[in-house]
Amino acid sequence: DAKTTQPTSMDCAEGRAANLPCNHSTISGNEYVYWYRQIHSQGPQYIIHGLKNNETNEMASLIITEDRKSSTLILPHATLRDTAVYYCIVPPYNQGGKLIFGQGTELSVKP
Amino acid sequence: DVKVTQSSRYLVKRTGEKVFLECVQDMDHENMFWYRQDPGLGLRLIYFSYDVKMKEKGDIPEGYSVSREKKERFSLILESASTNQTSMYLCASTTYRGNIYSNQPQHFGDGTRLSIL
């Protein structure tokens, strides 16, 4: 299983971009990178996922390095409501989409 | 938007009781999952199901069973509740797309915080 490594915590000023890094050096060629977040007392919320190319949706952008060993989630204009724990996950291939959540990065957006 | 609904947000039961946690999704998803979340341990997979009447053990199935009689509903059963099953329980679903490994995201409910006294 591809293990991911994320910083334990990060701060970001409201209105600025939040850049959350993730290392996944053992990722294999057919494994995707997923990002979820969990706001206190709620279930995890899907944000974005990608395989090789950079991806963007209404919530965030995902930048994956060319060697696929790391990625960065970008929240372009962070708000106080983006304060949450952010999880970078690489689901094992052919295990039914099973998700393995690590400890994630606790992002605090400050006024 | 995908909607995954768990029957209760908070539940208090007694040791030895049989406990049912219900989960319903409205997107015709084939795959459904039950996780538990504990401080310092993250989310751990209990059981999952690829289709009606099908189930697979996850990483921590002991003390639990599941039922999937209809596609939209996946139930988690604590056969005889114990205090170490006090936890946050999360249900998720995703579509199948004709492949055991789905590259489609899982969508989660808001969780059931279960306390066993």
Name every chain B residue with its beta carbon within 8 A of the beta carbon of A95: 101
d(CA A66, CA A74): 17
From the list A51, A96, A102, which residue is nearest B101 (CB)?
A: A96
Name every chain A residue with its beta carbon within 8 A of the beta carbon of B48: 96, 98
**pLDDT tens string A59-70:** 999 999 999 999
The Cα angle at residue B43 between residues A56 and A31, in degrees rounded to 5: 45
d(CA A100, CA A91): 7
CB contact under 8 A, A43 and B102: no
**A80 three-class SS:** helix
Which amino acid, one-letter code, is at B112? T
Residues in B lying within 8 Å of A, measured between beta carbons:
4, 31, 33, 35, 37, 42-43, 45, 48, 50, 56, 58, 90, 92, 94, 100-111
Q: Looking at the predicted structure, is the pLDDT value of residue B100 above 50?
A: no
Contact B117, B13 (CB under 8 A): yes
**pLDDT tens string B42-88:** 889 999 998 898 999 998 999 999 999 999 999 999 999 999 999 99
Q: Which chain A residue is nearest to residue B91, measuring alpha carbons?
A: A43
CB contact under 8 A, B108 and A96: no
Question: Which 8-state DSSP code applies to residue A5?
Answer: B
- Among A44, A48, A70, A68, smallest CA distance to A58 is for A48
By DSSP bridging, strand A45-50 and strand B19-25 are unpaired
**pLDDT tens string A77-101:** 999 999 999 999 988 766 666 788 8
Contacts of A1 (CB under 8 A, 6+ apart): A90, A92, A100
